[in-house]
Amino acid sequence: MIVIAPSSELTPDQVSRFIHSLGLDLHVKETCYGANIEGPRDQVRKAMVEVRRMDPNRIFTKIRAFPIGDERRCRAHHGSRPGFPQLEKEWKDLALIDKGLCAADRGEVCREKTKPKPLPVKQLQEIIDEVTR
Amino acid sequence: MKVFIVPPNSLILYDLVERFGHEPLSLMGELRDHVVKPEVESPPLNLSQEDIMKGLKYAGIEVPSGVRGRLAIWGPLVDQAGAAIIMHDMPYTFGCVGCHRTNLMLMYLVRKRGIPTLEVHYPHNEEEAKLMVSKVKGFLEGLK
């Protein structure tokens, strides 16, 4: 499953056409979020490497359990798609992951923010005294 | 190295693990074997009684069947894993990853195995995303 991040300028159509142009022995299906590809493992890997090169930090991939057009899941056959809300949520956040990957490529050092310390009781007492005076 | 991801169906974690040169152990990969194998044991999802019995290795008989059923698939993946990444506070808590008790059991199983584990939080803004990706990258590169 190839998912294009919302921050990418690529379209699912461009990606599917590109995969077709590779001339590999693959079954390709264009979808609203990118494309699904199916075929021998080595060919799928080859296609994934090539597709990622189009926009390295904005093209994401994962394996899908059900085959393309499987009647148990394909909505064209009124199949249920319980995983879609999660995919939709993660798809929206891919723009953030893209920023993270770009920062990692640049070697940007990211440090965890220190949590603000709780207000000491003494200081809180002083504030209360000041307000209630 | 085989890296187990929690939630086991996360697109973000699956991609990051693969991107940084490791093999992600995911729910989708495991279920694919179930749904495409030629013998149809228990259609439509091919979950057989044997699978449910496997869950007994990871949870007692008094544990609800939904938890055992999930652990029957996820437990063997934890056993295979050489490392794990746990993502907390995921906003989607429904569907196959919607059982909180199973998620707690799963995290317990991962921690009990004593494999190198990274715990991160689901990012909600750019800064958090940068921090999460840099942590994941550092962890995965350190495994090589």
pLDDT in tens, chain B (144 residues): 999 998 898 999 999 999 999 999 998 888 888 888 776 666 666 677 787 788 889 988 898 888 888 899 899 999 999 999 999 988 876 667 778 888 999 999 999 999 999 999 999 999 999 999 999 999 999 997
pLDDT at A66: 85
Are residues B13 and B81 in contact, defined by beta-carbon separation less than 8 angstroms? no
C-alpha to C-alpha distances, A123 to A66, A115, A119, A127, nearest whole angstrom: 60, 18, 7, 6
Beta strands A34-38 and A2-4: pairing type? antiparallel
CB atoms within 10 A of CB B111: 13
H or E stretch at A27: strand A27-30
CA distance B57 to chain A (A): 24
Helix (H, G, I), strand (E, B) or coil at A18: helix
Q: What is the crossing angle of helices B100-113 and B65-80, to 10°?
A: 30
For B32, the closest of A63, A82, A101 (CB atoms) is: A63
Q: Please tell me which residue of chain B has the smallest CA distance to A101.
A: B133
CATH architecture of B2-142: 3-Layer(aba) Sandwich (3.40)
Q: How many helices (H) and strands (E) would you count in chain A?
A: 4, 4
DSSP state of B81: -
What local confidence, expressed as pLDDT, does residue A20 receive?
Answer: 94
Nearest beta carbon to residue B133 from set A60, A100, A109: A100
Q: Please tell me the total count of domains within chain A.
A: 1
Closest CB to B44: pick one of A72, A85, A104: A72
| Helix extents (H) in A12-117 | 12-21, 41-54, 84-106
pLDDT given for residue B30 in this prediction: 87
In this predicted complex, what is the ipTM?
0.86
Reduced DSSP (H G I as helix, E B as strand, rest coil) percent helix, strand, coil of chain B, to 5: 55, 15, 35
- What integer pLDDT is reported at residue B113 of this predicted model? 93
Closest chain A residue to B133, measured at CA: A100
With 0-12 CB in 10 A as exposed, 13-18 as middle and 19+ as buried, what is B112?
exposed
User: For each successive 10 residues of chain A (133 residues), what is the average pLDDT?
Assistant: 93 95 93 92 93 93 87 70 77 92 87 84 94 89
Interatomic CA distance for residues B94 and A87, integer angstroms = 12
Q: What is the pTM of this model?
A: 0.87
**Which residue on chain B is closest to A79 by alpha carbon?**
B44
Q: For B21-35, write each residue's pLDDT tens digit.
A: 999 999 888 888 888
pLDDT value at position B42?
64
Segment (H or E) for B33: helix B27-36
d(CA B10, CA B27): 9
Phi/psi of residue B133, nearest 5 degrees: -65, -40
B119 and B1 Cβ atoms separated by less than 8 Å: no
- The predicted pLDDT at position A67 comes to 87
Give the whole-angstrom CA distance, residue B2 versus residue A131.
59
Task: Domain of residue A15: give its range.
Answer: 2-132
